[in-house]
Amino acid sequence: MESSQTENLTDTKQDDDARQSKQEDEEARIEEYKRLMDQKIALRRNNQNPERPGSHRFLPLMAIP
- 32 compared with 56, residue with greater pLDDT: 32
For residue 2, pLDDT over 90 is answered with: no
- How does DSSP assign 15-40, residue by residue? HHHHHHHHHHHHHHHHHHHHHHHHHH
The mean pLDDT value of the chain amounts to 78
Residue ranges per domain, the chain? 2-62
pLDDT tens readout for residues 33-55: 999 999 999 998 888 876 666 65
Q: How confident is the model at residue 5 (pLDDT cuts 50, 70, 90)?
A: low
> How much is the pTM?
0.52
